[in-house]
Structure 1
Amino acid sequence: MADIRGFRGFRYDLGSVGSLSEVVAPPYDVVDAALQKQLYDSSPYNAIRLELTRDEAGDDETNNKYTRAANTLREWVLANVVRQDTARGLYVYEQEYTVEGKTFTRRGFLARVRLEPFGQGKIYPHEQTMSGPKEDRLKLYRATGFNLSPVFGLYPDGNDEVFRALEPLIRSAPPLVAKDHLGVTNRLWVVTDSAAVSKVIGLMGPKPVYIADGHHRYETGVKYLEERREAGDVPDDEAAPNFCLMMLVGMSDPGLLILPTHRLVSGLASNITAPQLEEVLKEHFDILERTGTNEQAAWEHVQMDGAQATLAFGTVADGQWIVAKFRTPELMASLAPNQSEDWRGLGVSILHKVVLDRLVREKVGGTPICKYVHLLSEVTDATAKKQCQLACLVPPATMEHVERIAGNGEKMPPKSTYFYPKLLTGLVYNSLKKD
């Protein structure tokens, strides 16, 4: 059962910091050096100074980016730049965004969710994790004692009954508003009505939660809890380290969008043309269409087809695009015998297991290296600049895939999903030491 709690979040005092837009930041995993500098320059109170602090010359075990983040947060709290709310509540979070000309609004709420090791309860991962990011986040947790950015969780709610319990309380209340560097409008309401909070907690009780984004942060939370228990800092089941900060969104929310993650492939032994690629694919794929230099037409074909087995390929050497459909599922069964049929049917699974790891390696040679992008415009730009040898357009996984595969105890291949937009850091901080 999903065990959630209202909590007393720590939030910026806007009288001290000015505009909320100037102090929020994206999560650490999408911030490059240029954006980090931009956020540092935007405000002395920007959340990047906690979430992804800069390295400095002379850093060592006792003085480093993690200790600087902890000192900065401590100073902000002492100066009342960041204040803890006086009442426990849930934080309704809405994001309005535009993708390729269409506008969406995604709504959910921030809560504390009880941590449990994967496989031991009703919280399910859907993607594999890496050790490096978990070690980085663990050092930050140890230094600050805070969840600085939320995990993104999904729950089944076909009737929208959970959010309907919160909606009346935000209709008449003005939100706090922040616009981020991508133009996404973020709105936040604080709901402290005890009846509404209790109703949401009760409704969430029997529901499973699927991690959409933030797997590293969640697993780090479990590890941090283990460490605190061993140190004797977790006196009971209600102590703060038992929980993590999570944004919870209903899986039927109309603003919940999974973007595709296309692959830009380099590292091939030689450049490849469209006729050569067709020769590579012909044993296991049917060529559905040749769209010439028109990548838009190729992508529209993939979208209209709707099948995970339909992929589009752009050969940069001759600027040609083809659409191909995988026709031998028995090959996937032999290449991934320990995976479920749902897993083997994913477009990203077919692309990597069959095309890149098998056919391209055997018939073209080299070691395929992937760069990941989400928008067709990014693919167009990269191929025009010849920044890759092969572009692969992949249909996005669906919420049904996430629910079935994660619920089966499997993890999807890396970069299977991209839930856009990312959740901002700095709207609410959660203490792992106090309530």
Structure 2
Amino acid sequence: MALIQPFRAVRPSRDKVGLVASRSYESYSKKEREARLRYNPYSFLHIVNPGYKFHREVSGEDRFRLVRNRYLEFREEEIFIRDETPSLYIYKQKTRKHVFCGFLGGASVDDYKNDVIKKHEETIRTREELFMEYLDTVGFNSEPVLLTYPDSAPLEKVIAEVTAAVPEYEFTTTDRITHYLWKLSNPEKIAAVRNEFSAMKSIYIADGHHRTASSVLLAERRQQINPHHTGKEPYNFFMGYFIPESSLRIYEFNRMVKGLNGLSKEDFLIRLDEYYRIEDRDTEWYKPSKKHHFTMYLDGEFYSLYLRKTAYRFGDVLSTLDPQLLYDTILKPVLGIADLRNDNRIGYGSGKNNIVDMKTQIDKGKYTVGFGMLPLTMDEIRATADAGLKMPPKSTFIEPKLRSGLTIYSLSEI
């Protein structure tokens, strides 16, 4: 049974919300960050990059404490205001092609530990621990974990009823996405939402595996030092954006590799012939239309790779996924990429135009060869998570991408 918890969000005042909310820090180029920090004093980037105020870089515990200080300043200046009553929030993004709409609420640490919230990616312990220390010091979640649930007519009915009213927020960002937020405080409607989630056997992490794992570590730490632990404290939850499965947009990550592991171009192609039927498409842009087909770009030419089904034995769910298949047949045995997370010879390209980016980077000499594939499906993600398996890193690029600072989940009662 899945749990969604109302909470008292800390959020921007209505007149400043469009100035405060930001994309994730890493998604900005250095020039973009500098411009926003210089010309927008309300940007949430000032909180996550507190050293800007002192014209210096800060890191580690010093940075964590300064993040906390900037956050408190925003609250003292009433740029951020905390809601009086626990609520759920309905958040909608409208792009030129898609509409994403779901619930912002507290997700349960216990649901994650009990495998109600299922994961499909492996996490790195050192990253978990670092972000746990960050959360423990700053005392808030500012970017929700993207969680997905089976489509539900009762939940759609609640969303339709609430969004018929004037939103609390409505603003458009420079990427031409319009953002809407409604506050859901009605006890009967909250109960209806919670009852519907309680009937769900499982929900799934779409994006935010490390943030989730870090929140679990923090809860375990605080439980151990709290002699009056009840399970209702804020640290037992983390902020999630719950969205129906049909609303997700899933894209692929390309793989790009430096060098051919000592092989000549001709020897490399001969090695690939063991597993694939290869067609040289010259300068014709090629994108796969079927599973187990790949794009390859090498030496200014596109190739199509079609798996020889008699040459590869499928076993568990993981072995049927194209990112795993590419690893098993090319990246590891031919190119010598054993560690997909830490080998600096491999790079990844994501999003809707990643074949263009892949070709550009290879033509510039940054990489030697690149591979493209079809995106995975929600069925594949669900099957992998249900089997308790973990996909290779950078297997999915999932939208929506959420704003930081739109709603903040406080890890304390104040």
Normalised to the residue count of structure 2, the TM-score between the two structures is: 0.89
Aligned-partner Cα distance in 1 for 2:264–2:199:
52
What are the residue-to-residue correspondences of 1:122-161 with 2, within 5 Å? 122-157=116-151, 159-161=152-154
Give the residue type in structure 1 aligned to 2:66.
R
Q: Which residue of 2 aligns with 1:284?
A: 275
Q: Deviations over 1:395-434 (max 9, x none)?
A: 1111001111001111111001111241111110011112
Aligned-partner Cα distance in 1 for 2:163–2:227:
37
Q: Deviations over 1:179-198 (max 9, x none)?
A: 44533332222121221111
Give 1:123 shift: 0.8
What are the residue-to-residue correspondences of 1:235-384 with 2, within 5 Å? 235-253=229-247, 256-269=248-261, 273=265, 276-287=267-278, 289-295=279-285, 298-299=286-287, 302=288, 304=289, 306-307=290-291, 309-315=292-298, 317=299, 319-328=300-309, 331=312, 341-361=316-336, 369-374=345-350, 375=353, 376-384=355-363
SS at match of 2:271: helix
Aligned-partner Cα distance in 1 for 2:178–2:250:
18
Does structure 1 retain, via aligned residues, the 8 Å contact 2:296–2:370? yes
Give the residue type in structure 1 aligned to 2:74.
W
Consecutive unaligned residues in structure 1, runs of 5 or more: 334-339
Q: Deviations over 1:310-332 (max 9, x none)?
A: 111010x2x11111122247645
Does structure 1 retain, via aligned residues, the 8 Å contact 2:14–2:169? no
Q: Deviations over 1:369-395 (max 9, x none)?
A: 221112222123223323210011121
Consecutive unaligned residues in structure 2, runs of 5 or more: 338-342
Aligned-partner Cα distance in 2 for 1:252–1:58:
42
Give the residue type in structure 1 aligned to 2:276.
F
Give the residue type in structure 1 aligned to 2:89.
Y
Aligned-partner Cα distance in 2 for 1:121–1:165:
27
Does structure 2 retain, via aligned residues, the 8 Å contact 1:160–1:250? no
Does structure 2 retain, via aligned residues, the 8 Å contact 1:22–1:42? no
Give the residue type in structure 2 aligned to 1:404.
A
Give the residue type in structure 2 aligned to 1:290.
D
- When residues 29 and 227 of structure 1 are mapped into structure 2, their CA distance, relative to the original with a 3 A threshold, is farther
Give the residue type in structure 2 aligned to 1:97.
T
- When residues 124 and 150 of structure 1 are mapped into structure 2, their CA distance, relative to the original with a 3 A threshold, is same
Q: Which residue of 1 aligns with 2:19?
A: 22
Q: How many residues align?
A: 403
Does structure 1 retain, via aligned residues, the 8 Å contact 2:120–2:205? yes
SS at match of 1:358: coil
SS at match of 2:21: coil
Give the residue type in structure 2 aligned to 1:352.
Y
2:197 aligned to which of 199, 204, 211: 204
- When residues 85 and 93 of structure 1 are mapped into structure 2, their CA distance, relative to the original with a 3 A threshold, is same
Q: Which residue of 1 aligns with 2:2?
A: 2
Q: Deviations over 1:119-139 (max 9, x none)?
A: 523011111112343233222
Q: Which has the higher mean CA deviation after the structures are superposed, 77-86 or 179-188?
A: 179-188
Aligned-partner Cα distance in 2 for 1:278–1:85:
61
Does structure 2 retain, via aligned residues, the 8 Å contact 1:10–1:83? yes
Q: Which residue of 1 aligns with 2:340?
A: none
Identity %: 22
- When residues 21 and 199 of structure 1 are mapped into structure 2, their CA distance, relative to the original with a 3 A threshold, is same
Give 1:70 shift: 0.4
Q: Which residue of 1 aligns with 2:210?
A: 216
Normalised to the residue count of structure 1, the TM-score between the two structures is: 0.85
Aligned-partner Cα distance in 1 for 2:310–2:65:
52
Q: Which residue of 2 aligns with 1:337?
A: none
- When residues 425 and 286 of structure 1 are mapped into structure 2, their CA distance, relative to the original with a 3 A threshold, is same
Q: Which residue of 2 aligns with 1:336?
A: none
Q: Deviations over 1:262-311 (max 9, x none)?
A: 112114345854x5543121111123x4321122xx11xx1x3x21x111
Root mean square deviation, CA, Å: 2.5
SS at match of 2:295: strand
- When residues 192 and 117 of structure 1 are mapped into structure 2, their CA distance, relative to the original with a 3 A threshold, is closer
- When residues 293 and 408 of structure 1 are mapped into structure 2, their CA distance, relative to the original with a 3 A threshold, is same
Aligned-partner Cα distance in 2 for 1:323–1:60:
45
Give 1:32 shift: 4.9
2:66 aligned to which of 59, 65, 68: 68
Does structure 2 retain, via aligned residues, the 8 Å contact 1:50–1:148? no
Aligned-partner Cα distance in 2 for 1:91–1:394:
36
Q: Deviations over 1:60-98 (max 9, x none)?
A: 876x11111101111222232211112222111112235
